Structure 1
Amino acid sequence: MGLTEVVSGLSDNPYFGAGFGLFGLGAVTAMARKGSQVGMIMFRRHCMTTVEVTCKDKSYNWLLQWITSRGARRTQHLSVDTSFVESDSGKITTKYDFQPSVGIHLMNYQNVWIRVERTREQRMMDPWETIQLTTLGNHKALFASMLEEAREMVMAEHRGKTVMYTVLGTEWRQFGLPRQRRPIESVVLDANVSRDLVQDVREFLDSSDWYRQRGIPYRRGYLLHGPPGCGKSSFISALAGELEFSIAVLNLSDRSMSDDRLNYRLADAPTNSIILLEDIDAAFVNRETNPQLEAAYQGLNRVTFSGLLNAIDGVTSSEGRVIFMTTNYLDRLDPALIRPGRVDLKQYIGHCSESQLLEMFDRFYPDAKAGQAAEFAHSVASENVDVSAAQVQGYFMFFKNDPNLALSNAWRLTRSTQ
């Protein structure tokens, strides 16, 4: 019997024509579709391995960099990530990193083919991204090896460098390219200031058990204050390199920053990082001495003063945290902000002393004749003029390779500050 005869017979059947046949076909079709869906689910569950990594996970950026350089490096569907860095000297460095774009890519890792799907959707203010890795068979160990290799690759790139982080939207993001670590000896501070600060931070990092045994919150705050250009920010950068830490910069003037967001950002700051609040006096004023100025500042920031205090040492504040604040004007800070528990150590970093001038000359001109450094330091210090480390360094730049000219023209340095 042919297909035409079957169709003709069905059309002549009174039950089929009454709708029972159409209902039956629909039921069979629905069951077949449902069966195929269940079968696909069972196949994926037992015969496939899928790993999803979201942009909130620490390993997301590691995996994306690894896929770019080693995994799907031959893909022709790319998106660009541009890094733009301007150094203090004005030199601009631009780097273009191409990454697999949103969509599906295929790659081979350890002789196993892996389907890579990168997706992006808009949620609230920031895009939400995921990377989904799928392969046939049970390959949990394969993906664990891949993530570890991605971590090691990124860590190798950052080894010997200091990574800067800033808050972008609702999360910490790396800012610019990793910088070469600055030797702690390159920042010349007065007397034993540098040594004492480094020793204090190291002692804190090694004393977690001591804090917990005594029920003391395990966190420490530092305030560096003094005139501009004297080495506050430079020391923090060098300290991060000495400790092999990163620096997480918080901008309290950011209009997208609120009390809740500040609390979350302090809680999920990158591990092994120094949290830096620069020019804290520019964000809040002393309520006792400047009540009118405080009223003028209200509304400019979404972060309130009480919100900042609670984020630093409130009941929800995180532990194991090192915070550095800097200011040029100590008298403008509210006493509640710099009380013990929020600021545990205050350190003044001022204009260059004679010993600083001598050490800076020696470091800048290691081949200078004996006695020239002392003569230069005494010549500048005898003028009783305040000079900052930045001014001295800028002066030395005019005579990069000639200590004799730097010594004979020392009067120019003191005259330029008057």
Structure 2
Amino acid sequence: MSQPRMVNSRYLMAETASKTAWEDEDESMVARDRSGLYLNFSNQEARARPQFIPALGLHSFWWKGQYFKLNRKKESVFDDGASSGGFGAFKDKEDLTISCLGRSPEPIKQLLAHTKEQYYSAHQARTIVKRPLPGYMRRARNNWQIVANRPVREMKTVVLEHQQKLQVLADMNEYLHPETPRWYANRGIPLRRGYLFHGPPGTGKTSLSFALAGVFGLDIHVISLLEPTLTEEDLSSLFSTLPRRCVVLLEDIDTAGLRRPVDELRAAERASKKEKENTSKEESGKTTSSDIKELAKVLKKETEDKKGISLSGLLNAIDGVASHEGRVLIMTTNVPESLDEALIRPGRVDLQVEFTYATKEQAKELFIRMYEGDQGRPQRLDDAKPVPNGTAVTSSEKVPGSANGSVLSPETSSALRSGELDIAIDELPEIAHRFSEKIPDGEFSPAEIQGYLLKRKKHPRRAFEEADKWVAALIRQKMNRTKVSQVQ
């Protein structure tokens, strides 16, 4: 739509397109409540500006001195659903026909190359997340659907030891190098690379996966092995339709229950033997043999009735004879010891990355990262400007911890000041260091610290002053093994 003649065409179609959560919105299109302090998003779609696109039919435009014609045609085609195992339905199919004056198709080829380049330049700083289509919609060549299109996550926002970041980046960069396929082929090695990210919940395993995809400009294909409709045939088909280079993410692989039946039977036998040792010899002699046989029958029946993905099915999809090559496989788990050895052997998992609870240095890094993005705002509270509804912030409206005391609550003060920090930016490193000294080493996950700071995202001084109380409450909560937070 960069062509003026197309935009100013007399034949246009108007549509209201909803913005994603990550797209910028025009503040003038967002209403406020009666007090003028809080945003109100009722009837937002009605206030959104319509987008105009060329209507169906014939249009013309100039590009690089060449005259082109564009013909848009749309028709309804009935899909009987035979290829996807679903129900038949009518679907809209659109054809675009581009023509130009002359006897050579070269101008059209150049135009198509230009439009493709423009499309990718606009989507360069985005990470596309895809998931499998529902079972009844999967096709031989279209098994994936886009579920998210989010901004690229920078590597510096991932809380992980610096050397570990460099190791993963260097390993992945070498694998994705254009000369790597030839090197692998000359040595008869399958072109695959697998990573295992393991550690407690909230330590950044998924965050690193998204950051790596952003660094290398790859799409992320997320597969849940717990999906009830996902069969082993579906899994093989999903892997076979992956693009040449992408990231395949298998989250929480330990929860999928991937164990070999023989291992389950041996574990049951060991439990039965242990029970035999704890009972009298007479009782055990009469019941142990029958118990084991009965247990074997139950396990066999459970194995036959079990639906979903088995360990052998996953291994065949990962590195079987017909498995896809060129992709990057990332598996995450909270309990690496529970994984089968066959799943994490070299060749399937080539590099393991351990995630731990946050250190003092990482807590300091989290603190600075939370507040450094506001450097363009006023340096101190005295520099505050009137907010859009005309209510100016005076020196008496300070937040707790400021030199002049406080009159308004932190939430109201934050709303009035529209995001101004309660410290000077040059004070941030010192406050961050003092905050990190209050955080015990290896006790809290980065997600827990970040969640605490998010509740005080405009008040770094308040976050520092309330840290002692929050740390003590969280330690007490962990010791009592309760899920109720006393301090947030």
| 1:241 and 2:298 are equivalent in the alignment | no
User: 1:219 Cα deviation (Å)?
Assistant: 1.0
Within-5 A mapping of 1:75-94:
none
Q: Is the 8 A contact 1:255 1:301 kept in 2?
A: yes
DSSP 3-state at the match of 1:335: coil
Cα 1:116–1:295 shift into 2, 3 Å: farther
Q: Does the 8 Å contact 2:59/2:71 carry over to 1?
A: yes
Q: Which residue of structure 1 lines up, in the alignment, with residue 246 of structure 2? A: 273
1:221 pairs with one of 185, 188, 194: 194
Q: Which amino acid aligns with 1:415?
A: A
Structure 2 runs not aligned, ≥5 long: 24-39, 269-298, 373-425, 479-488
**Partner Cα distance (2:215, 2:431) in 1:** 30
Aligned to 2:236: 263
**For each residue in 1:93-130, what CA deviation from the matched residue of structure 2 results, as whole angstroms up to 9, or x when unmatched?**
989989899xx743335544444434433132367775
| 2:339 aligned partner | 333
Q: CA deviation at 1:344?
A: 1.1
- Closer, same or farther: CA 337–99 of 1 in aligned 2, 3 Å: farther
Instruction: Report the equivalent of 1:117.
Output: 73
2:439 match: secondary structure: helix
Q: Match of 1:380?
A: 439
Task: Give SS of 1:175's match.
Answer: strand
Q: Provide closer, same or farther for how the CA distance between residues 161 and 114 of structure 1 changes in structure 2, counting only shifts above 3 A.
A: closer
More displaced 10-residue stretch of structure 1: 220-229 or 115-124: 115-124
Report if aligned partners of 2:13, 2:52 keep a CA contact under 8 Å in 1.
no
Deviation of 1:259 after TM superposition, in Å, equals 2.5
The residue number in structure 1 matching 2:119 is 154
Q: How far is the alpha carbon of 1:407 from its aligned partner?
A: 2.5
Alpha-carbon distance in structure 1 between the residues aligned to 2:306 and 2:12: 46
1:342 aligns with 2:348: yes
Note if contact 2:12-2:53 (Cα within 8 Å) is conserved in structure 1. no
Aligned-pair Cα RMSD in Å: 4.0
Return closer, same or farther for 1:276/1:83 CA change in 2, 3 Å cut-off: farther
**Match in the other structure for 1:392:** 449
Structure 2 match to 1:413? 471
Query: Is residue 326 of structure 2 the alignment partner of residue 320 of structure 1?
Result: yes
SS in 2 for 1:227: coil
Find the partner of 2:58 among 91, 95, 106. Answer: 106
Q: Given the superposition, is the C-alpha separation of residues 194 and 408 from structure 1 closer, same or farther in structure 2, using an over 3 Å criterion? A: same
Identity %: 30
2:73 counterpart letter in structure 1: E
More strand by share: 1
Give me the whole-angstrom Cα distance separating, in 1, the residues matched to 2:148 and 2:53.
16
User: What SS does the corresponding residue of 1:416 show, helix, strand or coil?
Assistant: helix
Deviation string 1:335-387 (CA, Å, 9 cap, x unpaired) is: 221111111112121211233223223333454455543443332216xx721
Counting only pairs closer than 5 Å after superposition, residues 14-53 of structure 1 correspond to structure 2 as: none
In 2, the alpha carbon distance for the partners of 1:72 and 1:280 equals 53
Shift of residue 217 of structure 1? 0.9
Correspondence list, 1:157-168, <5 A? 157-168=122-133
Count of paired positions: 346
Give the secondary-structure state (helix, strand or coil) at the position aligned to 2:358.
coil
1:264 CA drift (Å): 2.9
The one-letter amino acid of 1:379's match is K
